[in-house]
Structure 1
Amino acid sequence: MNYAWSLLVVMCGILLSSSALLAADDKDGPVYTNPSEVDLDYHFQGEYRGWQRAQPTSRSSEPVALQVVALGDGKFSGVKFYGGLPGEGWFGGDRFEIDGQLEGDVVVLHGEQYDIEVDGDRALVFTKDGREAGELIKTYRVSPTMGASPPPGAIVLFDGEPTEHFKSPVLTDDGLLNAGTETTEGFRDFRLHGEFRIPYKPMARGQARGNSGFYLQSRYEVQVLDSFGLEGIENECGALYRTRRPDVNMCLPPLTWQTYDIDLTSPRFDEDGNKVSNMRISVWHNGVLIHNNAEIENKTGAGKAEGELRLPTKLQDHQNPVVYRNIWLVEKDQESPSRKSWVKTNVKVPPVPISFFRSPLNSPNMTYGN
């Protein structure tokens, strides 16, 4: 009887521990890692590009773009950009933030001057009295450096097969590299290409939304995070963590493959160990230059102290299922640096569809705004 009672107590303890673990895992809501297995809201999330008229004549048509972000439970936020998408027509300036929710089979975003109805394939802009003011079509951008092949002399760190270049690498069933590993050797000055995919966590917020990072030399972190539709500040995707924000937030929607192309020159020290020059870094995010030979005075965040010692580069583990592929590195000869461009950085803008040009709308005068 005592044995049975003890066994029952142990079983109850296991169940309680499991429940606590489940609750801890679920505190930020569901986590989706497969684009074919997502919730309904994911269909509406994404980038839309098109036109909007500020006046009732066709001459007033201006390019406009929209990013729609799923926030869980049918709630959404949106950001409207005049000129085009970030890095593709819009490189800074006003961002018009709007909020909304799923109403029937469309997402309705309410702004001060315009409302936008999103059906997942296109978005229609309406004046407050219900007249059509614009149309945007969903678009899917792919980095121009996606799938970039390593040049001659490159060190292939990961190409889908088990590799000796990472410590205790853990691969997914489909051959992707999980976050939470580091290179087996350190590098001084180098050019690095890497591709990453962030999970879709609609209920999560801030640093819980798909957190990882390229921790260069274990000292300087280029943040990886689901910052799609956000401002792009010092702790968001593309930032040098807590040190420098990207010049433009080029984060694409979660579950979209993205690229970093990084050019790093280490700081220099004299014979007494005194630093004589700072680290410099250039970063292309999805083919767009977001840090242009930026000078960084110290390590970032919780990074290791600067020094001559060559430390490994980490794929930071923040308990998020961020995965990586196609990672390669070219060591630079600092005495004779190459002058040749090593990444394709020009993003081609597709021609404007004919549907962007329509007869004038029978509507009152319109002004720019959200």
Structure 2
Amino acid sequence: MNYVWSLLVVVCGVLSSSPALSPALWAADDKDGPVYTNPSEVDVDYHFQGEYRGWQRAQPTSRSSEPVALQVVALGDGKFAGSKYYGGLPGAGWFGGDRFVLDGQLEGDVVVMHGDQYDIEIDGDRALVFTKDGRQAGELIKTYRVSPTMGASPPPGAIVLFDGQPTEHFKSPKLTEDGLLMAGTETTEGFRDFRLHGEFRIPYKPMALGQARGNSGFYLQSRYEVQVLDSFGLEGIENECGALYRTRRPDFNMCLPPLTWQTYDIDLTSPRFDEDGNKVSNMRISVWHNGVLIHNNVEIENKTGAGKPEGELRLPTKIQDHANPVVYRNIWLVEKDQESQSQKTWVKTNEKIPPVPITYFRSPLTSFNMTYGN
């Protein structure tokens, strides 16, 4: 069945279209430090964090340059980590292979980052690349990326699990003051084979590390977890954002900076069992993170992490609560039947726009329209 998705994306809304949790500084403790939920009320380091892309010459005197990108992660108290990529950002030009790690410190009005061969100075809007002897070799501009499925409308026949109002599809859902779904609920029904769209926003916890940094997840059928975590700028391993928890790492780490709205589009086909309860085929899953395919119809042999055992019983899908103010919106699901099992283009972008899986902006204050469909 063909259908069209209409999308109005307000880029400032990706960062702050819905008012954030109240208060903006949600909680703090001695171990993990402050927890920010509103991008307009953050520490000074947040201004420097983010994604940058531009060019760099191998030597300042070289006549040619190559595309490069940088992800800057705030670690609290003026400390920063960075990942530099040749070709572009992950999922949008990066050649793959090595990511070059840098460390940095806020010095006055700029962040100075040091790598093995180059140093980088960042003022929050652009990043200048210098050789070790101080000659400029490149320049990168801060950029904002928006998932092409952000705000995607549910197609005909979809089950709208959450659209800003409490529904009968979640058990005892808790909402923020501005109508966002909080983690810690599950669907009232179980689903066998389905396609799920969901949008989430991770808090900014600059001093937290690892699994304490904005942890949640989509626990499909209470068995298979697609991890939600602030893994921005990291390698993207089996317990980080986009991973099938402790089972398979994403093909790309597509995690965007915290306090940025992100999307998952998930296509799940349940395992099959014979009449005696013996499994005859494994679960298969595809996951698009911010519009980029990070798990391509992969076969999973068992539950992930602490999931429930596999079986024919249709269990609910959970929005996992790990005591972090991760919030959700625009969650809907399409049950698959035999006819739609082979339909592979349900998140395909309109061919009239460039075939770039994620959209760039020079400013978080741009509005535009998009349409999605087969």
* TM-score using structure 1 length: 0.87
The structure with more helix, counted as a fraction of residues: 1
CA distance in 1, matches of 2:157, 2:25: 46
CA distance in 2, matches of 1:257, 1:355: 13
Q: 1:291 to 1:109 in 2, by over 3 A?
A: same
Q: CA deviation at 1:111?
A: 1.1
Q: 1:85 to 1:368 in 2, by over 3 A?
A: farther
Q: 1:136 to 1:335 in 2, by over 3 A?
A: same
Q: 1:23 to 1:129 in 2, by over 3 A?
A: same
Q: 1:55 to 1:160 in 2, by over 3 A?
A: same
CA distance in 2, matches of 1:83, 1:11: 25
Matching of residues 111-150 of structure 1 within 5 Å: 111-150=115-154
Q: Deviations along 1:127-185, whole A, 9 cap, x unmatched?
A: 11111100000000000000000000000000001111100100001110000000000
Kept after mapping to 2: 8 A contact 1:91/1:248: no
SS in 2 for 1:5: strand
SS in 2 for 1:146: coil
Matching of residues 109-258 of structure 1 within 5 Å: 109-258=113-262
Q: CA deviation at 1:273?
A: 0.3
Q: CA deviation at 1:7?
A: 60
Q: CA deviation at 1:25?
A: 3.8
Matching of residues 1-370 of structure 1 within 5 Å: 25-56=29-60, 59-90=63-94, 92-334=96-338, 337-344=341-348
Q: 1:348 to 1:311 in 2, by over 3 A?
A: same
Q: Deviations along 1:311-360, whole A, 9 cap, x unmatched?
A: 00000000000000000000000365242510036999999999999999
Q: Deviations along 1:4-46, whole A, 9 cap, x unmatched?
A: 9999999999999999999984420000001111000000000
CA distance in 2, matches of 1:189, 1:98: 43
Q: 1:243 to 1:124 in 2, by over 3 A?
A: same
Once the two structures are overlaid, the 10-residue window that deviates more, 360-369 or 173-182, is 360-369
Kept after mapping to 2: 8 A contact 1:133/1:361: no
Q: 1:274 to 1:250 in 2, by over 3 A?
A: same
Q: 1:49 to 1:350 in 2, by over 3 A?
A: farther
Q: 1:59 to 1:345 in 2, by over 3 A?
A: farther
Q: CA deviation at 1:209?
A: 0.1
The structure with the larger Rg is 1
SS in 2 for 1:42: helix
Kept after mapping to 1: 8 A contact 2:182/2:327: yes
Q: CA deviation at 1:90?
A: 1.1
Identity of aligned residues (%): 90
CA distance in 1, matches of 2:139, 2:15: 53
Kept after mapping to 2: 8 A contact 1:99/1:111: yes
Q: CA deviation at 1:60?
A: 2.4
SS in 1 for 2:11: helix
Kept after mapping to 2: 8 A contact 1:98/1:110: yes
Kept after mapping to 2: 8 A contact 1:48/1:122: yes
Once the two structures are overlaid, the 10-residue window that deviates more, 180-189 or 52-61, is 52-61
Q: CA deviation at 1:59?
A: 4.2
SS in 1 for 2:370: coil
CA distance in 2, matches of 1:133, 1:5: 43
Kept after mapping to 2: 8 A contact 1:114/1:369: no
Kept after mapping to 1: 8 A contact 2:149/2:347: yes
Q: 1:348 to 1:220 in 2, by over 3 A?
A: farther
Kept after mapping to 1: 8 A contact 2:45/2:78: yes
For the aligned residues, what is the CA RMSD?
14.2
CA distance in 1, matches of 2:356, 2:52: 13
CA distance in 2, matches of 1:126, 1:293: 43
The structure with more strand, counted as a fraction of residues: 2
CA distance in 2, matches of 1:344, 1:4: 10
Once the two structures are overlaid, the 10-residue window that deviates more, 214-223 or 25-34, is 25-34
Kept after mapping to 1: 8 A contact 2:118/2:130: yes
Q: 1:73 to 1:13 in 2, by over 3 A?
A: closer
Kept after mapping to 2: 8 A contact 1:216/1:312: yes
Q: 1:348 to 1:60 in 2, by over 3 A?
A: farther
Query: When the two structures are aligned, how many residues end up with a matched partner?
Result: 370
Once the two structures are overlaid, the 10-residue window that deviates more, 90-99 or 337-346, is 337-346
SS in 1 for 2:63: helix
Q: CA deviation at 1:113?
A: 1.2
CA distance in 2, matches of 1:159, 1:13: 16
Q: Deviations along 1:84-113, whole A, 9 cap, x unmatched?
A: 000000152110001010001000001121
